[in-house]
Amino acid sequence: MSGGGSREAPEGRGAPPQLQDGATPADLHHRSSANGSETPLAGPSPLIDVHAHFAHAASGRADWRALNAARLRAGERIGIGCHVASILGSWGLTSPTYFASPADVVRGNDEMLAIQRAEGARVRSYVHVNPNDTAHALAEIERCVAAGAIGVKLSASRRADDPLLDPIAAEAGRRGLPVLHHVWQHRRREWGGQEASDGVELGRLAARHPGTDFILAHIGGGGDYAHTYPAVRELPNVYLDTSGSGVDRGMLDDALEAVGPSRLLWGCDLTICTGLAKLRALEVIGLSEEELAMIRYRNAVRIFPPNSFALEGP
């Protein structure tokens, strides 16, 4: 497999996976299996979902608690050791989802950090920012990282190659934070409510910031993923996340051919069921045990800040 070349890690980011408190990889497996009952659907090996979302009381859904509980319950049954998640403002209730107001950005981040505090090791937070307000975005990164955020979630409110994103990308790289960017696989037209980017545009941003890791969101989220792969093949700081509802035959094979197992990250976004389906596919397309472990959790442990994923007791 090609495209999986290594590169020197930025200062403060060790090459091997680093866990808290001397944890072993098995410690990343959520306490559900240790508590007894059922073998996780995804098996006993560690598993990190790098693309998750939660809701809150001011996000327009009366059932927001049930929605959050359902995600955690499904993760427990599958065997997800950690959901790395964001809340995008008010999810459109009081300002547009991808053009969230400063007040909604702050509220959403505060709610996300509260979920992290409540759930312990099984939830970690991105700090969500709207790049149209650079000063506010940089201030939110500083504030939320101090409170425990481990990555940056960029709103799809500017093209990824817009120079307005450069200060945010540079700050993320300085802090060793990966940047998750919403991507439409080969955008052929404008889409309402967002300024969608595709792999070519994210690739331009990544090329300008080689010291920052970027997560190209949901290769299964719609559009032509075959357009995305050659756009980022030669960019070692761009990782593909497997999330999205699409489960096309060949999607994962082609992703592995383009970037190799060292640049593929497992994630679900909104559809955990298709995340599980992709794990099933990964198990039967010829990956070694080591390569599968990279996709399930080791790549995530490597690109997020050291000690992001904590030891969880029995």
CA dist., res. 75 & res. 47, Å (int): 10
Q: What is the pTM of this model?
A: 0.85
What was the pLDDT predicted at 85?
Answer: 98
Phi-psi region of 32 (alpha: psi -120 to 50; beta: other; left: phi over 0): alpha
242-300 tens-digit pLDDT: 988 777 778 899 999 999 999 999 999 988 998 999 999 999 999 999 999 999 999 99
30-59 tens-digit pLDDT: 443 444 468 999 998 999 999 999 999 999
Contact by Cβ (8 Å): 76, 83: no
> How is residue 112 annotated by DSSP?
H
Collect all residues with Cβ–Cβ distance below 8 Å to 225 and sequence separation of at least 6.
Answer: 185, 186, 219, 246, 248, 251, 254, 255
Kindly tell me if the per-residue pLDDT of 196 is higher than 80: no
Q: Which two tokens stand for residue 286?
A: 């010829």
- What DSSP line would sit under 277-294, residue for residue? HHHHHHTTTT--HHHHHI
CA dist., res. 60 & res. 189, Å (int): 29
Secondary structure (3-state) at 111: helix
127-165 tens-digit pLDDT: 999 999 999 999 999 999 999 999 999 998 888 999 999
Tokens 């939660």, residue located: 54
